[in-house]
Amino acid sequence: MNTETLDKLDSYSKNKYKYGFVTDIDSDKPKKGLNEETIKFISTKKNEPEWMLDWRLNSFSKWKKIKEPKWSNLNFPKIDYQDIYYYSAPKGFEKKPKDLSEVDPKLIETYNKLGIPLEEQKVLAGVAVDVVFDSVSVATTYKGQLEKLGIIFCSISEAIQKHPELVKKYLGSVIPPGDHSFSALNSAVFTDGSFVYIPENVKCPMELSTYFRINSENTGQFERTLIIADKGSYVSYLEGCTAPKRDENQLHAANVELIALEDAEIKYSTVQNWYPGDEEGKGGIYNFVTKRGLCAGNNSKISWTQVETGSAITWKYPSCILKGDNSIGEFYSVAITNNYQQADTGTKMTHIGKNTKSKIISKGISLGKSQNTYRGEVSFLRKADKARNYTQCDSLLVGNKCGAHTVPYIESKNNSAVIEHEASTSKINEDQLYYCRQRGLSHEEAVSLIVNGFCKQVLQELPMEFAVEAQKLVSISLEGSVG
């Protein structure tokens, strides 16, 4: 890196998180701390049936026995689970509002500020949105139109009430509560999230979308998302996340389970822009997320796309279990870390069925004093005849105080399966910078352009509407250090 670039790195070290405002709204909280009382409080608030409470308590007893996973390349102080609020709802949400006129105008204003079109008339064509504010789902748009097709798109709390048979059958079937400590934690205290069911042979005509926002102080957010694509169906789902600027760290431990039955396809896209902390590394979200998809049926497909720019800590491995023959798993990821952010993210592709295919494209960009790790596991089990995997993970370093790490685990137990893995780490190519600047682009524009080009393979996987947003987000994330 030449001196000019280093000077720029210094002069542009202001943080520009524009979603960092707080909405001043009364909220309804239980006492701090994790115990059976808290869990019962949540369950009662949500008017849950007994089986649900039992499931939560059972998960809690598992959580008490499991230690936090230690293998990641992350450094953070021990989380004090007793110093967190496990439920927070804007006052007056004991009963879900029937329509938007019942929603606190301040809340609507918040979402407008975030650019989330809550009011139906402002909704972008073709996107149905479920919004989760702190712990509760606020509104689901386009509900009527989806119902006509038999598609269920509602909050998970509502699904527990109205579709208990589906919830009972699938909740925890891909991520068992006892899988690891964060899945047990989420299973015990999850407050809300989205539920999607696409019936047989239905192609969902619009993008389904959830927008998550953490507002209250010292509040953990534990949402649970469950998506079931029945035989021959298709759905594309997008989630976005923001949180206010606060000096304390906030915990976010979501669980997302996807189930694709025979010939079904689920496309799941995430643009994660939780508050990353300030330039000194103070504050920010601890993002410990478990996302796992099961290609249960033959010829099914699950595709994960993620753009991770936020959070102080990201611990996240959207995975695919390729059980059905000919099933396909994909993972496309862009992770950008700046200042003191730490990300340890990647995927796990477990090939069980014959002719299963997976593809992993990961692009990591480290700036400032951040640490960015790709961690991925690809395994071919004994019966995965003719399975294929292709993995490509590239890292880019901008500045000499950050780190980029690649930790792939590759295992084959089948001699007809083929795994191919490529990875590279380098700094931004000086010749490319020179070329762009010779055409009159400023240094910052050139960096932004090259990084966007570097990420293109991933960004082009996002649904149209969000690809543009994501590109902007990539440029904004670079702003902190290159201009």
Structure token digits, residue 309 = 């720019």
Write b or e for each residue in 468-478: b if 16 or more Cβ atoms lie within 10 A of its Cβ, otherwise e: eebbebbbbbb
Residue among 14 and 401 whose Cβ is closer to another protein:
401
Sketch the per residue contact string, 316 through 335, with another protein: x for CB under 8 A, - otherwise. --------------------
In the complex, least distance from residue 402 CB atom to another protein, rounded to whole angstroms: 7
In the complex, least distance from residue 414 CB atom to another protein, rounded to whole angstroms: 7
In the complex, least distance from residue 178 CB atom to another protein, rounded to whole angstroms: 16
Q: Site residues for another protein, window 138-177 (CB under 8 A)?
A: none
Residues 400 and 384: their CA atoms lie apart, in Å, by 43
Q: Where does residue 468 fall: left (phi above 0), alpha (psi -120 to 50 degrees), or beta otherwise?
A: alpha
Residue among 256 and 451 whose Cβ is closer to another protein:
451
Quick check: 399 binds another protein (CB under 8 A)? yes
Distances (CA, A) of 212 to 101, 132, 194, 325, 399: 21, 5, 10, 35, 32
In the complex, least distance from residue 441 CB atom to another protein, rounded to whole angstroms: 6
**Is 356 within 8 Å of 327 (Cβ atoms)?**
yes
In the complex, least distance from residue 442 CB atom to another protein, rounded to whole angstroms: 5
Residue among 15 and 73 whose Cβ is closer to another protein:
73
Residue among 210 and 356 whose Cβ is closer to another protein:
356
In the complex, least distance from residue 475 CB atom to another protein, rounded to whole angstroms: 12
Residue among 83 and 420 whose Cβ is closer to another protein:
420
DSSP 321: E
Q: Site residues for another protein, window 376-395 (CB under 8 A)?
A: 382, 395
Residue among 51 and 409 whose Cβ is closer to another protein:
409
Q: How many CB atoms lie within 10 A of CB 378?
A: 25
Residue among 204 and 447 whose Cβ is closer to another protein:
447
In the complex, least distance from residue 122 CB atom to another protein, rounded to whole angstroms: 25
Residues with Cβ within 8 Å of residue 89, at least 6 apart in sequence: 27, 28, 29, 45, 134, 135, 136
Convert 203-264 into a string of H (helix), E (strand) and C (coil): ECCCEEEEEEECCCCCECECEEEEEEECCCCEEEEEEEEECCCCCCEEEECCEEEEEECCCC
Q: Which ranges of 66-180 would DSSP assign to H, the alpha helix?
A: 105-113, 143-148, 156-162, 164-170
Distance from the Cα of residue 22 to its chain's centroid: 22
**Is 117 within 8 Å of 123 (Cβ atoms)?**
yes
Q: Where does residue 253 fall: left (phi above 0), alpha (psi -120 to 50 degrees), or beta otherwise?
A: beta
Residue among 184 and 398 whose Cβ is closer to another protein:
398
One residue of 146, 397, 462, 470 binding another protein per CB under 8 A: 397
Say what angle helices 3-11 and 464-482 make with each other, to 10 degrees: 100
In the complex, least distance from residue 395 CB atom to another protein, rounded to whole angstroms: 7
Residue among 233 and 366 whose Cβ is closer to another protein:
366
Residue among 196 and 474 whose Cβ is closer to another protein:
474
Query: Token match 């702190």: residue?
Result: 134
Q: Site residues for another protein, window 16-75 (CB under 8 A)?
A: 70-71
In the complex, least distance from residue 482 CB atom to another protein, rounded to whole angstroms: 13
**Is 344 within 8 Å of 308 (Cβ atoms)?**
no
**Is 189 within 8 Å of 222 (Cβ atoms)?**
yes
Sketch the per residue contact string, 400 through 439, with another protein: x for CB under 8 A, - otherwise. xxxxxxxxxxxxxxxxxxxxxxxxxxxx-x-xx-xxxxxx
In the complex, least distance from residue 355 CB atom to another protein, rounded to whole angstroms: 15
Residue among 85 and 466 whose Cβ is closer to another protein:
466
Binding residues with another protein: total (CB under 8 A): 61
Instruction: Report which secondary-structure segment, H or E, holds 480.
Output: helix 464-482
Sketch the per residue contact string, 438 through 477, with another protein: x for CB under 8 A, - otherwise. xxxxxx-xx--xx-xxxxxx--------------------
**Is 294 within 8 Å of 173 (Cβ atoms)?**
yes
In the complex, least distance from residue 391 CB atom to another protein, rounded to whole angstroms: 8
Which residues here bind another protein, judged by CB under 8 A? 1-2, 4, 70-71, 382, 395, 397-427, 429, 431-432, 434-443, 445-446, 449-450, 452-457
